[in-house]
Amino acid sequence: MGELLGRLLARPDEVMLEVGAGGELLVARVRALLSALLLLLPLINGLGGAATVDVVVGLGIAVFLNVMAQVWLSLARSRRRFAWLPFATATYDTTATTAVLALLAAEDRVAGLNSTVVWCFYLIAILMTALRNDGRLTLYVGGLAMLQFAVLGWAIFQFAPSPEALVSVDYGTASPASHGQRLVLLLMTTLLTATVVYRMQRLVELSGHDGLTGLPNRAWLLQRMPHVFATMRNTGGSMTLALLDMDQFRRINDALGHAGGDRALRHVAAAMSEAIAGGEVLVRLGGEEFVMVLHCPVGSAWERVDRLRRSLAERPFLPGRGDALAMTFSAGLAAWPQDGGTTSALLGIADRRLQEAKRAGRNRVHARDA
């Protein structure tokens, strides 16, 4: 439970937020569709013989909800990502439900607590947070829904002039027990949705991260790099992609077996991670190949990668039995945008220079073509 809560309260990584942005757009489309369907409710009430005033008020509320749904949809479609948008829209969904219940309570106190149709929109608001892949949002919306519904119930019970005022022909009897049961249902829905979010986060993490080292994998790199390029263009920063390949790693697998080779790769990943600065990333492409995305010009990147090469050679791997094994790598560097403007172009240039480094004798870093 501690791990689950900690993960839910933590800020999702960039890939998770990107997936959540798509979820926010889906939620906005669903909200727009549901708001359009709400226009039918006052019309149906009018056909059923409801008072004209009630029909007009209901139609006005439905029109307002449709206008707001289109505003949220427009923001969700924007290329610019608004970090506050999921929290704003979820707050709107929850508070709109409370406002409608309060309006019902102004006419019939019991309707504010026992209207099943309107109350279910609390559940919809909580369930829709699962599409954003952000556990913080789920816990926030669930807590907000319980708080608002609890305050609404307290106000209705507190200011009811008599017990008879809590009895309705259309909505039955309102009681603290039934109100408490609905609060428990909101809590259960929040916990269930939070568990779904946790599961989705784990699946996205596993699909975008290497199971052996915990580093981002090739899929993560290909999905994230376009955003890195966009950031570099906006800020005018420098970036270098370094492709690293361990030298003669097969000898370690032959000597220690695959389990020993796995421990050696974790040793290498830990050493390489120490060379990564804030905002930079180390990726395991597969096998014994790694990529470093460095936010610096190619000259500075060459110095850093070469320093890492020497540092790794000075930190031999201790297999637990037998002699320590010295480990080295060869690397090829590609600068953005001089060497290419896409991930595939940079990887191609870096790989060509990596192969040149291997042909030149391994255990070296090449930043230019021979």
Does one domain contain both 127 and 191?
yes
Domain count, the chain: 2
Alpha-carbon distances of 365 from 68, 202, 239, 250, 328, rounded to whole Å: 56, 36, 17, 20, 11
Does one domain contain both 125 and 236?
no
Coil, strand or helix at 22: helix
Does one domain contain both 19 and 158?
yes
Is 268 within the bounds of a domain?
Answer: yes
Does one domain contain both 183 and 76?
yes
Is 138 within the bounds of a domain?
Answer: yes
pLDDT tens-digit series, residues 93-126: 999 999 989 988 888 888 889 988 889 999 999 9
pLDDT tens-digit series, residues 193-238: 999 888 877 776 666 778 788 888 888 888 788 878 888 888 888 8
Is 280 within the bounds of a domain?
Answer: yes
In the chain, pLDDT over 90 holds for what percent of residues?
42
d(CA 283, CA 290): 6
Confidence at residue 358, expressed as pLDDT on a 0 to 100 scale: 94
Does one domain contain both 113 and 184?
yes
SS (H, E, C) 106-130: HHCHHHHHHCHHHHHHHHHHHHHHH
Does one domain contain both 24 and 167?
yes
Does one domain contain both 172 and 250?
no
Does one domain contain both 124 and 93?
yes
Is 145 within the bounds of a domain?
Answer: yes
Taking only Cα atoms into account, the Rg of the chain, rounded to an integer number of angstroms, comes to 29
pLDDT tens-digit series, residues 23-72: 788 888 988 998 898 888 888 878 877 777 777 878 888 898 899 999 99
Q: pLDDT band at residue 18, thresholds of 50, 70 and 90?
A: low
Does one domain contain both 149 and 222?
no
Select the more confidently predicted residue: 42 or 288: 288
Tokens 């030298």 belong to 247
- Domain span at residue 6? 2-208
d(CA 90, CA 142): 10
> Peptide bond before 337: cis, by omega within 30 degrees of 0?
yes
Beta carbons within 10 angstroms of residue 187's beta carbon:
15
Burial 23-37 (b: 16+ CB within 10 A, else e): bbbebbeebbebbee
Q: pLDDT band at residue 7, thresholds of 50, 70 and 90?
A: low
Q: How confident is the prediction for the chain on average, in pLDDT?
A: 86
Instruction: Give the residue among 369, 303, 363, 304 at the shortest CA–CA distance from 338.
Output: 369
The structure tokens listed for 49 are 């013989």
Is the pLDDT assigned to residue 3 strictly greater than 80? no
Q: pLDDT band at residue 241, thresholds of 50, 70 and 90?
A: very high
d(CA 255, CA 245): 19
Does one domain contain both 43 and 116?
yes
Is 213 within the bounds of a domain?
Answer: no
Does one domain contain both 260 and 225?
yes
Instruction: Give the residue among 212, 216, 239, 250 at the shortest CA–CA distance from 327.
Output: 250
pLDDT tens-digit series, residues 340-351: 889 999 999 999
Does one domain contain both 194 and 317?
no
Confidence at residue 326, expressed as pLDDT on a 0 to 100 scale: 82
Single pTM value for the model: 0.63
DSSP string, 223-281: HHHHHHHHHHHHHT--EEEEEEEETTTHHHHHHHHHHHHHHHHHHHHHHHHTTPPTT-E
